[in-house]
Amino acid sequence: MAASAQIKHQANVGQDADEQPLYAPAHKIYPQKITGFYRRLKWSLLIVTLGIYYLLPFARWSRGPNEPSQAVLVDLAHRRFYFFFIELWPQEVYYFTGLLILAALILFLMNAVAGRVWCGYLCPQTVWTDLFMAVERLIEGDRRERIHKDSGPLTLRRVGEKTLKHAIWLMIAWWTGGAWVLYFADAPTLVIQLATLSAPPVAYAAIGVLTFTTYALAGHMREQVCLYMCPWPRIQAALTDENALNVTYRYDRGEPRHSLKKSLALRNLGQASGDCIDCAQCVVVCPTGVDIRDGANLGCIQCGLCIDACDSVMAKIGRPPRLIAYDTDVNIKRRASGLEPIYRIVRPRTILYVALIVLVGAVMLYALIERSFYSMAVIHDRNPLFVRLADGSIRNAFTVRFVNKQSDTRWFKLAVSGIPGAAIEIVGAGRSADESVDVGPDQTREVRVLVSTRQPPSLGSQPLTFSAISENGETAASAQDYFHAP
């Protein structure tokens, strides 16, 4: 609600007498530098998350001679996804469905426990914006200085500063795109190719697009992304409850707010005065430009910087810290009625989310453990369904595809059961003597299989089972189809 209040405020600027404005004008935000616990936490998470993003492609993972040694690799050309010890094939994308469900549930759980943790600390938009703001502050100075410079004339020095800032921004943005493409090819090789301008054109195109989006979103769009483009604040508002920890202005303690002088005077007179001295430090440090004292709102990404700002003021004026703090609506009401604050982390909501996370995680783990290294698929020839041979026997033809997910070549002997007197012949078998087929490391192999019988089943069609027998005699995979006869 307060975000709409902010938008309303923007909209009213330049409103003419007769008409409502149709568009809200841009409203530049100059967040002030702040130090404190939450700022340090944000810096640490920034280093960790960006470190993972930029360096992970260089992590190695040995998988044997026939497989790539990159720990995390999306090999689009060969349709493989490698993640440390996991290797996924295109037909196993359901693991990604599981991952997405898991990610959504974890997001919901984080929200139920401590509100928009994702937005404030982990979201790429937040992390890169933080980094870009740090660059801006380093070159152009803090809030007041930047406001002053922006309203001043465009001197040569100013042009230089701006050029430097945008150059560094573009460089970071370029590295962001550069790191992205490293996930799709062997990273060290691609780095050399990029440096010698011999990388595939699509790599440069991807880097270009991501350079542009990073530069635009982190350098220029910033809070606009959260306010207008991101769906999560809308969904989050529907998922939160009064028990979730949120960055909260404790109005029960802060109000009535007065200037420091007036509040001291009032207290001296024995009258009530809140701890908030209306210094607006919480507002000036806010990266999205909201006033936390308006309550939880769409514009607030709950990064906690206003907590740091307010704590520093409270320390200076000798009042207890955490006038703004992670707190719940329940506690504000409880304090108002003289009750002890409580925080119930175990609630039906959190229990449900944890249970769902455990369930989905267990299903995925089971699927991963039970993942078969071999499989086979059979397609019956559609036309003709059966062939009558010269000697009167009936033959059906099938396309059989073997899948070998092991990192070395495997031999499979094909067996068929269910049709009396059935003889099989494999077109292009590796060893025709025993109808064996070799399937290369981490590959599939398609063969045409002819099944004939002199004693065709009396019914029109009969089920038959193909089995791939591995060299140690075990049934590695099997598949069902039908044998058709006139």
Partner 1 sequence: MSDDPQEHDDPQEHIDAHSGTATTGHEWDGIRELNTPLPRWWLWTFYACIAWAFGYWIAYPAWPLLSGATAGILGWHSRDAVTGDIADLQTLRGPMTAKLTAASLDDIEKRPELLSLARAEGAAVFANNCAPCHGAGGQGSKGYPNLNADRWLWGGKLDDIALTITHGARWDADPKTHASVMPSFGRDAILKPQEIDATANFVRSLSGLPTDPGADREKGKKVFADNCSPCHGVDGKGNQDFGAPNLTTKVWLYGSDKKSIVERINIGGGGTMPAWEGRLDPTAIKAVAVYVHTLGGGK
Q: How far is the CB of 387 from partner 1 (least distance, A)?
A: 4
Q: Would you state the structure tokens that stand for residue 135, as one six-digit string? A: 């660059």
Count CB atoms within 10 A of the CB of residue 208. Answer: 12
Q: How far is the CB of 432 from partner 1 (least distance, A)?
A: 10
Answer yes or no whether residue 26 interacts with partner 1 by CB under 8 A: yes
Which of 39, 42, 222, 395 touches partner 1 (CB under 8 A)?
395
**DSSP states of 146-206 as a string?**
HHHHHHS---HHHHHHHHHHHHHHHHHHHHHHHHHHHTTS-HHHHHHHHHTT-S-HHHHHH
* Count of residues that bind partner 1 according to CB under 8 A: 39
Nearer residue to partner 1 within complex by CB, 221 or 357: 221
Answer yes or no whether residue 198 interacts with partner 1 by CB under 8 A: no
Q: How far is the CB of 73 from partner 1 (least distance, A)?
A: 23
Q: For residue 455, what is the DSSP state?
A: S
Answer yes or no whether residue 319 interacts with partner 1 by CB under 8 A: no
Secondary structure of residue 37 in the 3-state scheme: helix
**DSSP states of 377-422 as a string?**
EEEE-SSSS-EE-TTS-EEEEEEEEEEE-SSS-EEEEEEEESSTT-
Angle, CA 232 vertex, CA 228 and CA 236 arms, to 5°: 120
Which among 175-183, 192-200, 327-335, 444-452 is the span making contact with partner 1, rule CB under 8 A?
A: 444-452
Q: How far is the CB of 485 from partner 1 (least distance, A)?
A: 13
Answer yes or no whether residue 357 interacts with partner 1 by CB under 8 A: no
- For partner 1, the binding residues in 205-244 under the rule CB under 8 A are 221, 224, 227-228
Q: How far is the CB of 228 from partner 1 (least distance, A)?
A: 6
Which of 152, 392, 473, 486 touches partner 1 (CB under 8 A)?
392
Angle, CA 123 vertex, CA 118 and CA 127 arms, to 5°: 125
Q: How far is the CB of 21 from partner 1 (least distance, A)?
A: 6
| CA atoms of 400 and 426, how far apart (whole Å) | 10
Which of 48, 99, 351, 389 touches partner 1 (CB under 8 A)?
389
Which among 51-59, 109-117, 261-269, 422-430 is the span making contact with partner 1, rule CB under 8 A?
A: 422-430
Nearer residue to partner 1 within complex by CB, 328 or 452: 452
Q: Would you state the structure tokens that stand for residue 292, as one six-digit string? A: 């936390």
Nearer residue to partner 1 within complex by CB, 157 or 234: 234
| CA atoms of 86 and 101, how far apart (whole Å) | 19
Among 35, 232, 239, CA closest to 125: 232
Nearer residue to partner 1 within complex by CB, 4 or 480: 4
Which x/- pattern over 47-86 shows residues binding partner 1 (rule: CB under 8 A)? ----------------------------------------
Answer yes or no whether residue 316 interacts with partner 1 by CB under 8 A: no
Q: Which helix (H) or strand (E) holds 468?
A: strand 461-470
Which of 55, 345, 365, 387 touches partner 1 (CB under 8 A)?
387
Which among 19-27, 110-118, 330-338, 405-413 is the span making contact with partner 1, rule CB under 8 A?
A: 19-27
Distances in whole angstroms, Cα of residue 384 to Cα of each of 180, 219, 276, 425, 428: 49, 63, 85, 17, 21
**DSSP strand pairing (246-249 vs 324-327):** antiparallel
Which of 267, 316, 388, 454 touches partner 1 (CB under 8 A)?
388
| CA atoms of 100 and 437, how far apart (whole Å) | 38
Angle, CA 120 vertex, CA 141 and CA 128 arms, to 5°: 50
Which among 8-16, 36-44, 97-105, 472-480 is the span making contact with partner 1, rule CB under 8 A?
A: 8-16
Interacting residues with partner 1 (CB under 8 A)? 1, 4-5, 7-8, 11-12, 15, 19-26, 221, 224, 227-228, 381-384, 387-392, 395, 397, 425, 427-428, 430, 446, 448, 450
